[in-house]
């Protein structure tokens, strides 16, 4: 089964609309897959979208491959960027600003609302909610400087759309969004574990990669082998230390150590200077385990350790990174253009 990282999707009322990631990133999406779960809910918007004849055929089969609509493709891509964009200095891929993504997703959501009314009933966020998130605490104003003209143009479009919806307050707010001058944000790929103290010994150590599916988006370097860990024997206790290099934002995350699928330690991680790190003392059973098994038999996972999570593989991540690196500059979204401009200024 194809992992969701490869299939941008729009959750419609009564169904899903899927696209191939490679096609969206390359600007060549010609078809979209519509999968229906509630024909009654989907019928009105599907008929508006593709006409009565094609709608009846799709409703009868429960699915259909239909000509791609650019409005839906753009929304699907923006939603994918918000969840899966593989930022990381080790990859040469800059992080995307959440406020700019929220603004552009607000516009894309409004476009889909206009395209087929009812398609997004019950959708994860309305244009109003996305716009509110974008401007909260001055985030949009702070992020807008590399693409100020484009931000003003998108805000003008939203102001007109909100006005049509009789949302006077947001129409006025969108019309008066300010775009101040340059602001710099920096992040660094932090160093690994610090040296152990005299008298202490390393029982096991290793490196691991962050599974994108197990952590919130936009907080960690998406490169491989960014997790360093070791189990240290000391007089007071045996402890597990974990460092995750390349942190962009704070989040409540932990690392879990296991042997043959059985977890034996959890390490809450805290944000530091460009990295997450944490330490946890092992109980007696875990300490004995660490002393007798080779380090290669110990696995460390950052984020959700639940086996029900559909994790990404090294191959999944490498394929996505290659597609992102090959993305034509002229197809970049607002947030991508801003990130590229910021990276050019930094270097």
Closest by Cα among 172, 101, 121 to 11: 121
d(CA 121, CA 112): 11
Identify the H or E element spanning 21. helix 21-26
Q: Are 49 and 58 a contacting pair, CB within 8 Å?
A: no
3-class DSSP state of 210: coil
Distance set, CA 129 to CA 115, 269, 295 (Å): 19, 31, 47
| CB of 285 closer than 8 Å to CB of 264 | yes
pLDDT at 209 (0 to 100): 94
Please report the pLDDT score of residue 181 as a whole number: 55
Which residue ranges of the chain lie beneath pLDDT 50? 182-191, 346-347
Q: Write down the pLDDT at residue 200.
A: 84
Q: Which two tokens stand for residue 274?
A: 């460009």
The predicted model scores a pTM of 0.86
- Report the pLDDT value the prediction gives residue 261, as an integer from 0 to 100: 87
At 274 the pLDDT is 86
In the block, tokens 């879990």 appear at 256
The secondary structure element, H or E, covering residue 84 is helix 70-84
277's enclosing H/E stretch is strand 275-281
Q: Using an 8 Å Cβ cutoff, are 130 and 102 in contact?
A: yes
* CA–CA separation, 138 and 119 (whole Å): 31
Phi, psi values for residue 228, rounded to 5°: -115, 140
Question: What does the pLDDT read at residue 147?
Answer: 92
The residues near 272 (Cβ < 8 Å, ≥ 6 apart) are: 190, 247
Which residue is listed with tokens 């990295």? 275
pLDDT score recorded for residue 73: 97
| Residue 118 Cα to chain centre, angstroms | 26
CA distances from 174 to 135, 171, 205 (A): 9, 5, 52
Q: Are 190 and 247 in contact (CB under 8 A)?
A: yes
């Amino acid at each position: 089964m194809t992992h969701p990282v490869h299939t941008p999707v729009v959750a419609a009322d009564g169904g899903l609309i899927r696209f191939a990631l490679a096609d969206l990133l390359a600007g060549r999406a010609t078809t979209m897959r519509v999968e229906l779960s509630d024909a009654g809910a989907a019928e009105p918007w599907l008929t508006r979208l593709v006409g009565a004849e094609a709608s009846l055929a799709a409703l009868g089969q429960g699915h259909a491959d239909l000509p791609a609509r650019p409005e839906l493709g753009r929304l699907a891509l923006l939603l994918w960027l918000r969840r899966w964009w593989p930022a990381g200095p080790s990859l040469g891929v800059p992080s995307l600003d959440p406020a700019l993504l929220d603004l552009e997703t607000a516009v894309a959501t409004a476009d889909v609302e206009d395209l087929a009314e009812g398609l997004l009933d019950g959708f994860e966020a309305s244009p109003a909610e996305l716009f509110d998130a974008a401007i909260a605490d001055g985030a949009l104003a702070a992020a807008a400087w590399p693409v100020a003209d484009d931000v003003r143009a998108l805000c003008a479009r939203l102001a007109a759309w909100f006005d049509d919806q009789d949302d006077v307050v947001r129409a006025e707010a969108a019309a008066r969004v300010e775009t101040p001058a340059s602001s710099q944000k920096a992040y660094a790929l932090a160093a690994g574990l610090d040296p152990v103290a005299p008298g202490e010994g390393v029982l096991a150590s290793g490196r691991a990669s962050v599974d994108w599916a197990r952590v919130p988006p936009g907080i960690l370097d998406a490169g491989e082998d960014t997790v360093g860990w070791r189990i240290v024997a000391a007089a007071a206790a045996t402890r597990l230390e974990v460092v995750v290099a390349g942190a962009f934002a704070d989040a409540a995350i932990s690392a879990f150590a296991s042997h043959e699928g059985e977890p034996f330690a959890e390490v809450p991680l805290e944000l530091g200077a460009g990295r997450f790190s944490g330490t946890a003392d092992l109980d007696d059973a875990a300490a004995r385990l660490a002393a007798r098994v080779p380090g290669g038999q110990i696995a460390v996972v950052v984020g959700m350790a639940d086996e029900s999570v559909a994790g990404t593989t090294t191959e999944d991540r490498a394929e996505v990174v290659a597609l992102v690196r090959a993305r034509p500059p002229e197809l970049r979204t607002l947030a991508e253009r801003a990130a590229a401009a910021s990276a050019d200024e930094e270097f």
